[in-house]
Amino acid sequence: MSHDAATSFDVIVLGGGPVGENVAQYATEGTDLTAALVEGELLGGECSYYACMPSKALLRPLAVAGAAAHLPGITAPEVDAEALMARRDTWVSHYSDAGQVDWAEGAGLHVVRGHGRLVGEREVEVGGADGRAPQRLRAERAVVLATGSAAVIPEALRDFSPWTSRDATGVVEVPDELLIIGGGVVAVEAATWMAALGSRVTMLVRGDVLLRGLEPFAGEHVLEALRELGVEVRLGASVLSGEREDARETGLGRLHGGRVRLEVEDRQGRREVSADEVLVATGRRPRLHDVGLETVGLSPEDVTGGAELPAWLHVVGDASGEAPLTHWGKYRARVIGQRILAGATGEAAEPVPETVPVPQVVFTDPQVAAVGLTEAAAREAGHRVVTAQVPFGGAAGSALLRDDVTGTAQIVVDLDSRTLVGATFVGPEASELLHAATIAIVGAVPVHVLRHAVPSYPAASELWLRLLEELPREMRAG
């Protein structure tokens, strides 16, 4: 297919993170179709430099140290903060995207630097980077918005430029005292590594539980573990306002200076709390406000609210309002990319299963691994369900992981179909048990069939047998 190499492509993807890279690759692979990846920051996106990779690079050594501390005959290793941050820097390629660019170009993708926005049907303008003039691009077949999400900072806290997750994963100078506002995944993971790096961490959680949306026992286990690490967790705490002492504006438009003071209302009334720094981890929203949706008659609310989009426009990943998880975004990118490719070649698109559950792992210690529906969500969705729950150390293999294993494993089974609709594991290395549950849900495998999947002994996967044995006898009989 002939194109003006400078301005015209079959597919233009705004956003060069893992999701954007995936959709561009799957929409063109094995053909002469062309794709442009438009990225105004580092190619590889939030996950590669500011979220998944640096946070896990920090957390994995801590998990190993935690396991060693709970096994006899091993002197628990000390955490070397400098070495930990150096490992982080290695995994984020010292914030260079040269390797990502080499991969993209090797895959036949055209990298365009600058901020891209729609300016009409299939028309994209890319703001000039490094002083260059803006560039106008045209998509012959599809434009894909894979622009990710941005941290939500409550208005009352914006004036003193608090930390977001980027600051926490990229920490260089560890604050003596850190306040974390929030009780979700970012908050509990950051509390784990910042405490290990030497900060005295206080979490201010508006609700009465951690990790809302997961099974209640998951938040309870993580709360107990954080308090054992020395993290102070204040539930039912609302932040009313904040200010920074001796604030001064930097060239980046951010305020730095002295300590931050917050006015907080909790169960004991109003009080003032202070720390060297504050991390706001109160959620993220799709980054759609500056991508030119209005030029094609759409708004961000249309996109996230399920409005019908033009056939040539696709939205994927965090920008879509779906589960803000890299692996889910990459899965949806594969589906959309293959559909674009099928439309171009006339081939049939690959079928998508009716039920595709979203798996998630929280890399605290203990880990939390969950997929599908919680018991409460399943009942709200109209399922008649039964649950089976066992202690995480209820099998020889899982008990061997540590001498004092704590945690819980649970499955949620639909009584009518006798198949799994959800599973949650909380314990050391719990993430390694999750994919079996995902497969069971996607494959709609009846529980009486699952009982014939023999776990190795002694391995943590024995927990599956313990869970299935907890189900009513008539369900196990088939």
Q: What is the CATH number of the domain that holds 424?
A: 3.30.390.30
258 and 334 part of one domain: no
C-alpha span between 266 and 235 (Å, rounded): 8
143 and 236 share one domain: no
Shared domain check, 305 and 278: no
Are 139 and 26 members of one domain?
Answer: yes
Yes or no: say if 38 and 144 are a contact pair by the CB < 8 Å rule.
no
Q: How many helices (H) and strands (E) does the chain have?
A: 16, 23
Q: In which domain, by residue range, is 180 found?
A: 153-282
Question: Would you say residue 161 lies in a domain?
Answer: yes
Q: Which residues contact residue 360 at a Cβ distance below 8 angstroms, ignoring those fewer than 6 apart?
A: 185, 323, 325, 369, 370, 371
Residue 78, domain member (yes or no): no
Name every residue whose Cβ is closer than 8 Å to that of residue 320 and which is 6 or more positions away in sequence: 286, 303, 304, 329, 332
Q: What is the DSSP letter of 220?
A: H
**Does residue 172 share a domain with residue 269?**
yes
Give Cβ neighbours of residue 455 (< 8 Å, ≥ 6 apart).
397, 461, 462, 463, 464, 465
Task: Determine the Cα–Cα distance for residues 354 and 401; give it in Å rounded to an integer.
Answer: 37
On whether both 312 and 274 belong to a single domain, the answer is no
263-299 pLDDT per residue, tens: 999 888 899 999 999 999 999 999 999 999 999 999 9
Least Cα distance to 205 among 184, 228, 185 occurs for 184
Structure tokens at 247: 């604030």
> How distant, in Å, are the alpha carbons of 28, 272, 320, 467 from that of 231?
48, 18, 34, 32
Indicate whether 81 belongs to any domain.
no
Q: Are strands 408-414 and 385-391 parallel, antiparallel or unpaired?
A: antiparallel
DSSP labels for 108-119?
TPEEEES-EEEE
Residues 227, 266 share a domain: yes
pLDDT in tens, the chain (478 residues): 334 445 899 999 999 999 999 999 999 999 999 999 999 999 999 999 999 999 999 999 999 999 999 899 888 788 899 999 999 999 999 999 999 999 999 999 999 999 999 999 999 999 976 667 889 999 999 999 999 999 999 988 888 889 999 999 999 999 999 999 999 999 999 999 999 999 999 999 999 999 999 999 999 999 999 999 999 999 999 999 998 886 555 544 444 557 999 999 988 889 999 999 999 999 999 999 999 999 999 999 999 998 999 999 999 999 999 999 999 999 999 999 999 999 999 988 889 988 899 999 999 999 999 999 999 999 999 999 999 999 999 999 999 999 999 999 999 999 999 999 999 999 999 999 999 999 999 999 999 999 999 999 999 999 999 999 999 988 877 6
User: Which tens digit of pLDDT belongs to each residue from 128-138?
Assistant: 766 678 899 99
Tell the residue number behind the tokens 């179709």, with chain if given.
Answer: 33
Domain boundary, last residue among 282, 298, 325: 282
Number of domains present in the structure of the chain = 3
User: What is the distance between the alpha carbons of residues 362 and 426, in angstroms, rounded to a whole number?
Assistant: 9
- Residues 106, 34 share a domain: yes
